[in-house]
Structure 1
Amino acid sequence: MEQAHRGIEQLKNNFNEAALDTVFAHCENNRESTPLLPEQQQELHNRVHSRVYPGQKPGPERDSEPEGSPNQSPGAQKTGESFCKEVLSLFQEMLSQLQKMWQDVLACVQMCASLVNMVKFILSQIMNFCSIAAQSFSSLFLVQGVA
């Protein structure tokens, strides 16, 4: 069963790395979004990996066997069916954890995107103001130069 735990953990790690690569590539290649700064990429990477513990046994809820499980008695052997049920349970738990974690990451990315959009809007307003001010000053100098 330990091998199943390690396999599920490795599957989760592989999924997280592939998903991070996809997010970074999307931000880099999408014309409508601004590429993530290295600090933002590191923050997302840390958020994802703060919940992943490579090389460690999965959380305490997995260490203890449920009551009535075949491993409760010393001589008991798992049947193929109970092993499959346990692996399915581990897989469902992994999917649930991944869903929650990636919902949190999505919220972080959306917050970064809204911050970038707000900065773009402020910058466009400053550029408009500077343009209007430049036009006003140039017309003022043209009027004085003609007179």
Structure 2
Amino acid sequence: MCYSKTFQENIEKMRSEMHKDVDTFCDLVKSKEEDQVNIGLEELEISINETALDTIFAHCENNQESTPLLPEQQQELRNRVRSRVSPGQKPGPERDSEPEGSPNQNPGSKKPGESFCERVLRGFREMLSRLQKTWQAVLAWVKKMWASFVNVVKSIWSAIKDFCSRVAKYFSSLFLA
């Protein structure tokens, strides 16, 4: 696909913001305060999601003809991303939760023999997994939404073609009779 220079600039800006967010998280990890690390992971996930949403909305704003996104759709998109993670929130129905008491249930819960760094890495991987699941779900929703719209337009186009064909046959029969 060919994207505009503005879109590429927005992607670069998004990458830069995400790198800054990861750097901030890494600085926080140096403190080795487990509660701060857990909060930092939540904030990092939220920040990455918000940065990605801002990039999408900026693209839609700059390309309204080719990428229309109504305010209601923007809000639905934002809600779908935000409902998957909120600060201090336990996994909701949309999130894959671990069985009660599982050592993977909370990135801060320590597995036997696990070091602080291993726990942080596990928490980071879990956060990346949630990000991946969130954006895969968003992509599936967008595809479904647009597929439904495309099907409606195809049905209308088919009805118009059928109508035009019938009218053409009718007029042909009038003039040939």
Normalising by structure 1, report the TM-score. 0.67
User: Is the contact between residue 5 and residue 58 of structure 1 (CA under 8 Å) also seen in structure 2?
Assistant: no
2:107–2:119 Cα contact (<8 Å) kept: no
Contact 1:12 1:94 in 2 (8 A): yes
Distance 1:84 1:63, change over 3 A: closer
Which structure has the greater CA radius of gyration?
1
Equivalent residue number for residue 110 of structure 2: 65
- Answer yes or no: is the 8 Å Cα contact 2:110–2:119 preserved in 1: no
In 2: Cα distance, 1:136 partner to 1:44 partner: 46
Residue among 42, 46, 58 paired with 1:13: 46
Distance 1:67-1:17 versus aligned 2 partners, 3 A rule:
same
Matched with 1:108 is 141
Q: Which has the higher helix share?
A: 1
Partner of 1:22: 55
Q: Deviations over 1:48-94 (max 9, x none)?
A: 1112122x16665335332345xxxxxxxxxxxx3222211110010
Alignment equivalent of 1:97, drawn from 115, 130, 137: 130
Q: After the TM superposition, which parts of structure 1 deviate over 4 Å for at least 4 consecutive aligned residues?
A: 25-28, 57-60, 129-141
Q: 1:23 to 1:116 in 2, by over 3 A?
A: farther
Paired residues, what number? 130
Structure 1 stretch 8-17 or stretch 44-53: which is displaced more? 44-53
**Alpha-carbon shift at residue 25 of structure 1 (Å):** 4.4
Structure with larger RCO (C-alpha < 8 A, sep 6+): 1
- Deviation of the 1:16 alpha carbon: 0.9
TM-score (norm 2): 0.57
Give CA-to-partner distance per residue, 1:3-40, whole Å, 9 cap, x none. 111111111001111222334445562865x5233332
Aligned equivalent of 2:76: 43
CA gap 1:65/1:90 in 2 versus in 1, 3 angstroms: same
